[in-house]
Amino acid sequence: MAVISVRNLTKTYHVGEVAVHALRGVSLEIEKGEFVAVVGPSGSGKSTLMHILGCLDSPTSGEYFLDGADVSHLSDDELSEVRNHKIGFVFQGFNLLPRTSALENVELPLLYNAGSLSATERRRRAMEALAAVGLRDRAEHHPNQLSGGQQQRVAIARALMNRPSILLADEPTGNLDSRTSIEVLDIFQSLREERGITIVLITHEPSVAEYGSRIVAFKDGRIVSDTPNLRQRVARGELAEMPIAREDA
Amino acid sequence: MRAIRPSLMIALRALRRNKLQTALTMIGITIGVATVLTMIALGSGAESAIEDQVRAAGMNTIIVTAGNYKTKTEDSGSAVEEQGRIAPRVEFVPAVWRNPQGAGPLMPLFRPVFHPEDDPMEKHDHPTASQRLGDTEAGLGAAATLTSADADAIRKISGVQYVSEGIHNNAHVAWGAKRWFTRLHGDDVSLPLIRRAWVFEHGRFFSKREQSHAAQVVVLGSIVSQRLFGAENPVGKQVSIYKQPFEVVGVVASGSWLVAAAPGDDQFDAIYVPFTTIQRLLNLSKLNDITITTSSSGEVSRISQQITDLLRARHRIGVKDPDDFTVTSQARQALAKGGMLPQVARSVVGNIAGLEKVTLEQLGKTLDRASRTMTALLASVAAVSLLVGGIGIMNIMLLSVTERTREIGIRRAVGAKANDVLRQFLMEAVALSVTGGLAGIAIGLAVSNIIGQWVQWSVSISALAVALSFGIAAMVGIFFGYYPARQASRIAPIDALRYE
Ligand SMILES: Nc1ncnc2c1ncn2[C@@H]1O[C@H](COP(=O)(O)OP(=O)(O)O)[C@@H](O)[C@H]1O
Ligand SMILES: [Mg+2]
C-alpha cells in the first residue's frame, strides 16, 4: 500500500480578482521507502504540493490518502496530530526557533505528543537524535551559533523525533554550499537505507534531484514526467572524494 | 492538562528574553495589586481596630457589684454620678496580716480605712478616690455578697466570654522614699483579655500559677509606674503595699487611641494583684465585683438578665426583696464618664441619638466611615491601575503574537494544536501579570506596614488577602491575555509558517 496517494489535486489561490492555479490536477503514488525528488522551475507549484502533502494546507479539490487514511476531511486538531506523528519537515530556511538551544528545538515535537514523556526522557531522545546527525557537542548552541549545515541537521533531527512515515524536504539545500548540500543529501540517503524512511525532496536544481531514487518533474502545476532514477548519485561516495571541510574540523 | 509545564517554561523563557519590556508591562499590574493589598490591609485593619476600640470602651462588658446602693433601675448612668457624691467613710476593719513566709506568729492589727485623699485639707493633682467612677462603693466595708462560687456559676452561662473576679481597695504603693496613693485591684488572670486594649510596656500580667498560689506579685498601671520609677523599668523591683513586699511583674498601659491614661483613672492609675493574694492577706472570702464580657455585644441585655436571675436564685432572694448586688453594663458608663479621648467621645455621642441605645454596630458605623472612604479611594486607584496594566499586557501580547508568527507556524508544523498555541500565549500573559502581581504583593506589604507605622493605623494582612491579590493578578492576565492568545491560535499553520 502506498504511503502517499493523491488524486487530481488542485489548488487555486485568489489574489484580488486573479485566480492563481498553483496545482492543476496532480495524481501521485509514493511507496514506502522511496526517495522521491520533485523537481521543477520556481513557481511551478512544488511547495504548494508539499504543504498539502504535509497537512499544513488543504487542496481546493482532490483526494489525499496518507497511510491509507483519507486526510482531506480531517479537523484542524486531527491534522495537527497527523503532522506530529507521521510527518517530518525540513525547510530551506531551517525554521528553527531562534534564541533556543539545538536540544530544545529537537525536543519540540515531543512537547506536543499525546503520550506525554518525562522531561528527562524527552531530553534523552533529543540528545540521541542530535547525536545521530553528529551534533552531540552542539546541543546547547543556539541557531545563530551554528553554521547553515549544522542548522539543517538540527532541523532533520527534529523532523525525525516522532519517527514519521514521511520526511518532506522543501529545497533543503537551497541555503547551503555544495559540500554541506551533499552532506545533507547523504543523511537523507542513509536514513532511507538504514531506517526505510520515505522521503519527498523538493528542489529546483536537477543536479540535486539526481540523488533521489525517483524523479518527478513539475511544470505549471502539473506533473510532466515521473521516472525511476536509474543513475542515482551517491552522496557518501562523493563526500569521500572531497577534501575535509573546515566546519567539521 | 498536558503541556502545562512546558508551556510555562516556554512562557517564562519568552519573558526573560525581553526583560525591559516585561518590566514596563508589569508596572501597571504591580501598582494595581499593591493597591489592592494595601486596601485590604487597611480596611480589615480598620475593622479590627474599631472592634478593639469598642471592646476597649467596654461595650461588651457587664459588671456585677456586691451590694445594692440604689433602687433597682436600668438607669445606671445617673447612679454613677450619684455615686461620685457619696461621702467617704472612715471605718476600722479588722484584718489579720500573715507573715508572708507563712511561718511565725500571726500578727493581728487594726488597719484604718482612712484615705489620705479624704483629708479635706489635702490638695490633689488628680481626682480623689471618691471622685473616681466605678466602684468606690465597693470598698471592703460594702456588703460582701459575691463569692467565687457565684463567679463560677456565671462562667457557665452561654455567651459569656471571660469572667474576672475582683476585689478593690485604695492603697499606698511605696518604693524607697516614694509613695503613691492609688487604686488596688485584686483581679483574675483573665482581666487583660477583658481589657482588650491593654499593652504591657514592661513585663506581663500575673499568671494563673501566681494567682492560685496567691503570690505577692503586682502589675503597675503606667501612671503608677511613672510616679514611682519615672522612665525606669520596674520589673523585678520590690514595692511595698500594706507594708508587704510585692514583686513588680509588669507595667500596663493603654494600647488604644480611644482610651488615654491619666492620673486618677481607674485603669492605669491603679495596681493589679491576684484577687487570691488580697483574699489571703486580708483574710477575705468575698468579692467586690465580678466583671464579665460577652462574646457578642448584642447579648449584653440577655446575659445581664440571666446573671440577675442566677444570682437571685443563688442568694435565695425572695420575689419581693431587692437584689443584694448590682448588674450594670458598661456601655453607657464608658461613654458618659470618659476614658475615651474627649473629641472621640464627643463625636460618638454627637453622632448617636439616644445614648441608651448605643450598640457595637452604631459605634462601629461612626468610626467605620473614614475607613470606608479610604477603601473606596484605594479601590478606584486599584481598578484603574489594573485596567491600565491589563491593557498593557494585551498590547504587548498582541505585539508578541505578530513578532512570533513564524514561531507559531513552526510549532504548528511539528504538531502543536490551536489550543496548545492558545495556552502558551495565555500562560505568557499570566506569567507576566503574576510576576507583576508578586512584585505588587511585596510592595503592598511594605506600604501597608509603612502606613501602619506612620499614621498609627492598624493594618492586618492575612494569607487570604495575599492569595486574593495573587488571584486578581492571575485573573487580569487571563482576561487581557485571552484575546491575543486566541488570535495566535487562529492563524492557519501555513500562513504562520510563510509569514515574513
Ligand atoms: N499564498 C499564496 N497566495 C497566492 N499565490 C500563491 C500563494 N502561494 C503560492 N502562490 C502561487 O502559486 C504558484 C506556485 O507557488 P509555489 O508552490 O511556491 O511554487 P514553487 O515552490 O514551485 O516555487 C506561484 O505562482 C505562486 O505565486
Ligand atoms: Mg517553493
Q: Which helix (H) or strand (E) holds A218?
A: strand A214-219
pLDDT at B294: 82
Strand residue runs (E) in B316-403:
325-329
> A37-41, A165-169, B43-47, B53-57 — which is least confidently predicted?
B53-57
C-alpha cell at B442: 511585596
Atom of ligand 1 nearest to the CA of A41: 22
C-alpha cell at B313: 436564685
pLDDT at B98: 37
C-alpha cell at B317: 432572694
A19 lines ligand 1 (CB under 6 A): no
A218 pLDDT more than 90:
yes
C-alpha cell at B357: 441605645
Distances (CA, A) of B383 to A42, B35, B45, B201, B328: 57, 9, 21, 42, 48
A203 lines ligand 1 (CB under 6 A): no
In angstroms, the first-to-last Cα distance of chain A is 44
A75 lines ligand 1 (CB under 6 A): no
* Closest by Cβ to B2, choosing from A95, A97, A116: A116
Q: What's the CA angle centered on A65, arms A59 and A69, to 5 degrees?
A: 125
| Chain A interface with B: residues with Cβ < 8 Å | 51, 54, 56-57, 76-77, 79-81, 83-85, 89, 95-100, 108-109, 111-114, 116, 119, 158, 161-162
**Interface contact flag, B415 A99, Cβ < 8 Å:** no
What superfamily does domain A4-241 belong to in CATH? P-loop containing nucleotide triphosphate hydrolases (3.40.50.300)
Ligand nearest to the CA of A48: 1
Return the residue matching grid coordinates 487555486.
A12
pLDDT tens, chain B, 500 aa long: 445 666 677 777 777 777 787 788 888 899 999 988 888 887 777 666 665 655 555 667 788 888 775 443 444 443 333 333 333 333 333 333 334 443 434 333 444 444 444 444 444 454 444 333 334 444 433 456 788 888 888 988 888 888 888 888 888 899 888 888 888 898 888 888 877 668 888 899 999 999 989 899 999 998 899 888 888 899 999 998 888 899 999 999 887 655 667 777 778 889 999 989 988 888 887 888 888 888 766 677 788 888 888 888 888 888 888 888 888 876 545 454 444 455 555 555 454 444 434 455 555 565 566 667 777 888 888 888 899 999 999 998 999 899 999 999 999 999 999 999 999 999 989 988 998 999 999 999 999 888 878 766 667 788 888 999 999 999 999 999 999 999 999 999 999 999 88
Q: Which of B1, B13, B412, B414 to mutate to test the interface with A (most CBs of A within 10 A)?
A: B414
Spatial neighbors of B18 by CB under 8 A, at least 6 apart, are: none
**Interface contact flag, A56 B493, Cβ < 8 Å:** yes
Beta bridge partners of B164: B291
B171 φ, ψ to 5°? Answer: -155, 155
A212 pLDDT more than 90:
yes
**Interface contact flag, A112 B13, Cβ < 8 Å:** no
A89/B426 Cα distance (integer angstroms): 27
**Interface contact flag, A77 B418, Cβ < 8 Å:** yes
Q: Which of A208, A189, A153 lies closest to A38, judged by CA? A: A208
Distances (CA, A) of B413 to A48, A53, B189, B494: 15, 12, 76, 8
pLDDT at B345: 54
Atom of ligand 1 nearest to the CA of B498: 1
Ligand nearest to the CA of A16: 1
C-alpha cell at B403: 513578532
Contact A180, A208 (CB under 8 A): no
- Ligand 1, residues A12, A13, A216: which to mutate, most atoms within 8 A of Cβ? A13
Contact B253, B203 (CB under 8 A): no
B477/B472 Cα distance (integer angstroms): 9
pLDDT for A68-83, tens place per residue? 999 988 999 999 999 9
A56 pLDDT more than 50:
yes
The percent of residues above 90 in pLDDT, for chain A, comes to 88
pLDDT at A151: 97
pLDDT at B124: 47
| Chain B interface with A: residues with Cβ < 8 Å | 2-3, 5-6, 13, 17, 406-407, 409-420, 492-494, 497
DSSP letter at B128? -
Helix (H/G/I), strand (E/B), else coil: B265: coil
- What's the pLDDT band for A205 if we cut at 50, 70, 90? very high
What ipTM score was computed for the predicted complex, to two decimals? 0.95
pLDDT at B375: 77
Contact B240, B271 (CB under 8 A): no
Ligand 2 centre from B306 Cα, in Å? 95
A20 lines ligand 1 (CB under 6 A): yes
> A154-158, A182-186, B45-49, B444-448 — which is least confidently predicted?
B45-49
Distances (CA, A) of A35 to A31, A153, A192, B226: 9, 18, 7, 101
Q: Helix H segments across B100-207?
A: 148-155, 191-194
The stretch A113-132 carries a mean pLDDT of 88
Atom of ligand 1 nearest to the CA of A44: 22
The stretch A183-198 carries a mean pLDDT of 94
C-alpha cell at B286: 468575698
A44 lines ligand 1 (CB under 6 A): yes
C-beta neighbour count of B66 within 10 angstroms: 24
A136 pLDDT more than 70:
yes
Contact A117, A125 (CB under 8 A): yes
pLDDT at A235: 93
Distances (CA, A) of A37 to A169, A192, A211, B383: 9, 13, 8, 61
Our CA-based measurement puts residue A84 at a distance from the nearest CA of chain B, in whole angstroms, of: 4
Contact B178, B319 (CB under 8 A): no
Contact B68, B98 (CB under 8 A): no
Distances (CA, A) of B231 to B202, B226, B272, B481: 11, 6, 20, 60
What is the DSSP pairing of strand B289-294 with strand B160-175? antiparallel
Return the residue matching grid coordinates 517554561.
B9
A129 pLDDT more than 90:
yes
Our CA-based measurement puts residue B461 at a distance from the nearest CA of chain A, in whole angstroms, of: 39
A191/A198 Cα distance (integer angstroms): 9
B441/B26 Cα distance (integer angstroms): 13
Question: Which residues in B lie closer than 8 A to residue A51 (C-beta atoms)?
Answer: 494
Q: Which of the two residues, A30 and B28, has the higher pLDDT score?
A: A30
Q: Which of A175, A128, A131 lies closest to A151, judged by CA? A: A175
Residue nearest to atom 1 of ligand 1 (CA): A13
Contact B272, B206 (CB under 8 A): yes
